[in-house]
Amino acid sequence: MPRRPALIPPGLALRLRPSNAGLKIVMAATGVVFALFVLVHMIGNLKIYTGAEHFDAYAHWLRTLAEPLLPYEGALWLFRAVLVTALVAHVWAAVVLTARAHRARGPFRRRGLHGLRSFTARTMGVSGIVLLAFIAFHILDLTTGTRPAASPTFTAATHTSSAAYANLVASFDRPAVAGFYLLAMVVLGAHLAHGLYTAVNDLGVTGARSRALLTAAGGLLALAVMAGNITIPIAVMAGWLR
């Protein structure tokens, strides 16, 4: 039988195939977007220490941001759309790069790699999967209030009120949820630290001083996000937040 002509000419298919360098830039750029988001999100989370009234007011402000130019929760959904797009691009680039690396490496494995940086590099895929699971659970728990992820007392926000403080405390009152959150924050810290380290390289930063400063800044950002978020479930379990 005569061979069917290719739907896409080989030359065009090769040009459409993203390069490794391009995929690394996609991962680096989307990683920076997520790093900035989790930093701002952590700062917002720490407002829980100002009390229920202020924290609920902050949560309500996020939903009414840019009204009446945008509808209720309009700005929030725009932010979510950007984050979902970045997440899809980040995961896609990671999967393609990992598959290519496995094919190129074949049966050979590097030996004798030690140290924290080597460990985080080798476990980026695993930590990414843990974080995806955490994101899904976190949304079901504190955004949509879907049982059994959410606490039995979850109260949905309305156009005039928010119960973000009570929902957060009720969620972390469950030891399993608090423990999972603590684990996820440690994983996030390691993932962020290594991801921002590689982003400095993949985005083409040159100069020893610039690279050192950006690497240190990335490490401090990862540590701050991890430490700041970890304090919240600990404070709830210790009874400091009620």
Residue 122 belongs to a domain with what CATH number? Answer: 1.20.1300.10
Tell whether 81 is covered by a domain. Answer: yes
Tell whether 7 is covered by a domain. Answer: no
Which of 144, 142, 147, 146 is CA-nearest to residue 167?
142
pLDDT tens for 117-153 read 677 777 788 999 999 999 999 999 999 999 999 999 9
Q: Residue 25 and residue 204: Cα distance in Å, rounded?
A: 9
Tell whether 62 is covered by a domain. Answer: yes
Q: Residue 167 and residue 174: Cα distance in Å, rounded?
A: 12
Domain extent at residue 155? 22-101+117-238
The distance of Cα 210 from the centroid of its chain, to the nearest Å, equals 25
The more confident residue out of 112 and 189 is 189
The residues, any chain, with a CB within 8 Å of residue 84's CB and separated by 6 or more, are none
* Residue type for position 43: I
Confidence of residue 193 (pLDDT cuts 50, 70, 90): very high
Whole-prediction pTM: 0.86
The residues, any chain, with a CB within 8 Å of residue 8's CB and separated by 6 or more, are 16
Q: Residue 100 has what pLDDT? A: 87
Q: Residue 129 and residue 187: Cα distance in Å, rounded?
A: 10
Tell whether 108 is covered by a domain. Answer: no
How many domains are contained in the chain? 1
